[in-house]
């Protein structure tokens, strides 16, 4: 059977297309990491805003690629099932196992992206907290506790916290600093939100990976079981044939004994030697 008959040519084209998607996402991930590092040193609101827009655009592109790839993977699963109807490509066949293994491997690569983007999101969250903590210290001269930082991150409302400082140092100086933290808050919050949406897409892919992995394990188990059953069947057949052969052997030996006994009995009764 050639590659055209078993559908492998089209299958490998689908695999290569999805691998190109993974490569695009990997490059965008590196761009986002680089942008995140640059954001740590930005102060001007305009620069922070511009970087935010670029990062949002890149995350959107990753989301679009991931959604398209998820659809392609689902189509690949359907094609794998349909391909089983072809001669020699049934469930558990070498062709079917090759397709399933290649599909699972591809999905595992996407699953790795879940961890990569989750790590980026965690880095951004940590940077968010560090920025808030540094800003609070710069403005107030004291370190904020965890509850205060959480409140700032969750609400972005810093008015009450800095009210006393505004009264002591003047509104202009403090408000400039607050504007920076607000810009960073808005930027990091929006990026985190988009990364969370992206992570959900990747998690959906992970479910496909787990299900397909279980299917592959099941197929391998069935194949191993089938091989074992065939071996047991062959052994049983061999044993049956051996027993059958032994039965025939004993049957003929019994018949032969009866014949010999009959001959001896006839000879003993007739005593032919007396007539000589």
Mean pLDDT is lowest, of 19-28, 97-106, 196-205, 262-271, for 262-271
**Residue 65 contacts by C-beta under 8 Å, 6 or more apart in sequence?**
21, 24, 25, 28
Task: For tokens 């052969």, name the residue.
Answer: 245
Residue 27 pLDDT > 90, yes or no? yes
- pLDDT for 3 equals 44
- pLDDT for 142 equals 75
Give the separation between CA 234 and CA 237, rounded to whole angstroms.
Answer: 5
Quick: pLDDT tens for 55-111.
889 999 998 998 898 899 989 999 999 999 998 888 888 899 999 899 988 888 888
Give the separation between CA 39 and CA 113, rounded to whole angstroms.
Answer: 22
pLDDT more than 90, % of the chain: 16
Give the separation between CA 78 and CA 59, rounded to whole angstroms.
Answer: 29
Residue 155 pLDDT > 50, yes or no? yes
Q: What is the value of pTM for the model shown?
A: 0.64
Tokens at residue 59, please? 């995350």
Sorted by where each begins, the domain ranges of the chain are 8-232
- pLDDT for 149 equals 74
**Which whole-number Å values give the CA distances from 191 to 55, 122, 183, in the listed order?**
7, 11, 12
Residue 226 pLDDT > 50, yes or no? no
Give the separation between CA 106 and CA 104, rounded to whole angstroms.
Answer: 5
Q: Which stretch, 19-23, 197-201, 238-242, 250-254, has highest mean pLDDT?
A: 19-23
Residue 165 pLDDT > 70, yes or no? no
Tokens at residue 201, please? 């897409």
- Report the phi/psi class of residue 163: left, alpha or beta, with left for phi > 0 and alpha for psi in -120 to 50: alpha
Q: Indicate the fold that domain 8-232 takes in CATH.
A: Methane Monooxygenase Hydroxylase; Chain G, domain 1 (1.20.58)
Residue with the bigger pLDDT between 53 and 20: it is 20
Q: pLDDT tier at 242 (50, 70, 90 boundaries)?
A: low
- pLDDT for 1 equals 44
Q: Report, as an integer, the average pLDDT of 110-116.
A: 84
Cα dihedral 84→85→88→90 (10° resolution): 40
Q: What is the mean pLDDT of the chain?
A: 74
Residue 243 pLDDT > 70, yes or no? no
3-state secondary structure the chain: CCCCCCCHHHHHHHHHHHHHHHHHHHHHHHHHHHHHHHHCCCCCHHHHHHHHHHHHHHHHHHHHHHHHHHHHHHHHHHHHHHHCCCCCCCCCCHHHHHHHHHHHHHHHHHHHHHHHHHHHHHHHHHHHHHHHHHHHHHHHCCCCCHHHHHHHHHHCCCHHHHHHHHHHHCHHHHHHHHHHHHHHHHHHHHHHHHHHHHHHHHHHHHHHHHHHHHHHHHHHHHHHHHHHHHHHHHHHHHHHHHHHHHHHHHHHHHHHHHHHHHHHHHHHHHCHHHHC
């Amino acid at each position: 059977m050639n590659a055209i008959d078993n559908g492998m040519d089209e299958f490998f084209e689908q695999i290569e297309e999805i691998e190109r998607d993974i490569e695009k996402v990997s490059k965008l991930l590196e761009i986002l990491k680089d942008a995140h590092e640059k954001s740590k040193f930005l102060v001007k609101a305009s620069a922070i805003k511009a970087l935010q827009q670029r990062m949002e655009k890149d995350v959107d592109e990753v989301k679009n690629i991931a959604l398209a790839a998820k659809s392609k993977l689902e189509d690949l699963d359907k094609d794998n099932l349909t391909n089983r109807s072809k001669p020699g490509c049934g469930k558990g066949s070498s062709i079917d196992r090759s397709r399933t293994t290649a599909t699972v491997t591809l999905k595992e690569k996407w699953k790795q992206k879940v961890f990569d983007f989750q790590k980026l999101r965690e880095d951004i969250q940590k940077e968010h907290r560090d920025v808030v903590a540094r800003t609070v210290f710069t403005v107030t001269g004291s370190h904020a506790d965890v509850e205060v930082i959480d409140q700032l991150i969750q609400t972005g409302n810093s008015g009450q916290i800095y009210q006393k400082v505004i009264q002591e140092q003047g509104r202009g100086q403090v408000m400039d600093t607050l504007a920076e933290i607000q810009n960073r808050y808005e930027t990091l919050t929006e990026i985190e939100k988009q990364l969370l949406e992206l992570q959900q897409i990747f998690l959906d892919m992970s479910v496909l990976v787990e299900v397909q992995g279980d299917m592959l394990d099941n197929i391998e188990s069935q194949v191993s079981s089938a091989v074992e059953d065939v071996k047991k069947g062959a052994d049983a057949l061999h044993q049956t044939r051996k027993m059958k052969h032994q039965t025939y052997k004993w049957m003929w030996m019994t018949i032969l004994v009866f014949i010999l006994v009959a001959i001896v009995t006839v000879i003993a009764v007739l005593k032919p030697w007396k007539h000589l």
